[in-house]
Chains A and B, each alone.
Chain A
């Protein structure tokens, strides 16, 4: 039996993480072993804790360590606005910006003809239930500007029509963007959404 079997196994598992390959996983594992006290042991402890406690928020689908996440528990975030996002990573991106002070709803995917994902496979029924229970006044659809993302946005808007105000994120020139490098779809969306200055 190889004496490095466990280490090889760790490298193999690390290499499956996004952004890492076998080489970078090997480097990371070597670094952790060299700094066993400061890095490896605390990391192993923390991973064990997260493995035991990480779960989806029962209300919005965010990931946290309790049944209901901090955002859903906070009374300050009960503004009547719910921002609908595709994935937890999108929620985290919105929170990084700090521009939104309401609550979220994570769909966990988008409608997709290709992958045979229908409305029942994503958290749309839960969103409808929240509108009834939380006194929601506005739904902000922050879904990707892709065919699947916008198909989902239109479907949700269709389901909620007349019940609540529905808005979606603007599309146009990104900050720091140069017109010359934009695709023609973005330019035409930006032109449609032009405003007086």
Chain B
């Protein structure tokens, strides 16, 4: 068995004295683990940093083996190391991908979104909203997508203000009626309406967080969400001025 692909390096951990086991979210083979011989050497270790874009060749005698990787760097994302929010965003992204993606299952649309998101790490002003939209894409890709196109009650496409925590469908102010307190607020930035306000992005994270925790994580036996997502949100909150 042998294949060559490109991907985002999600994690690397030392294996024995000289090798490393890495996980790569590849374009056509999904999240796949493998051993890199000499992976902790001074030459290769900088390439095996989470978030880096890499070209990989995976080899194994049979398909179900762990396999070995040879890795070539394509793009380093080490610029994020010096920016605390970018670094927290990188950690949150790679952790959520590791948390949620099944092994060896291709998710091409999510892969493309993830690469774009990683490239936005160098643009701190644009990253939080891009990350929020990426979480929506992640939910959709894994079968928990939100339908924000029209009201689930009235069918209206205007005045959408809430999301049903059960169905994930948008609800308009008129459609919500007395149920409004039980619904999740829908930030307008997710509808592409009006200027993006930082506090709306934080509201957006409440929304995606709810579905990640109560739907996605529940499907994995209520595993807790990665701590790095909470750390990223905490940093964003601290730098967002109160409304």
Contacts and interface: CB of A to CB of B under 8 A. Distances in A.
Nearest to A112: B13
Contact of A151 (B11, B76, B77, B88): B88
Nearest to B49: A147
A197 interface: no
Interface stretch (B78-86, B130-138, B206-214): B78-86
Interface stretch (A29-37, A87-95, A180-188): A180-188
B102 interface: no
Interface string A162-197: 000000000000000000000111101100100000
Interface residues of A, number: 23
Given A147-B87, A158-B84, A185 B226 contact: no
Interface residues of B, number: 30
Contacts of A133: none
Contact of A113 (B17, B49, B77, B228): B228
A114 interface: yes
B51 A183 contact: no
A113 B227 CA distance: 7
Interface in A110-162: 113-116, 118, 145-147, 150-151, 154-155, 157-158
A192 B80 CA distance: 13
A183 B226 contact: no
Contacts of B77: 185
B91 to A, nearest CB: 6
Contacts of B79: 185, 188-189
B73 interface: yes
Contact of A147 (B17, B91, B226): B91
Contact of A185 (B11, B81, B87, B231): B81
B95 A147 contact: no
Given A19-B17, A151-B91, A183 B81 contact: no
Interface of B: 11, 13, 17, 45-47, 49-51, 73, 75-79, 81-82, 84, 87-88, 90-91, 94-95, 98, 226-228, 231, 235
11 contacts: A19-B17, A113-B226, A115-B13, A147-B87, A150-B81, A151-B87, A157-B84, A158-B84, A184-B75, A184-B78, A189-B78
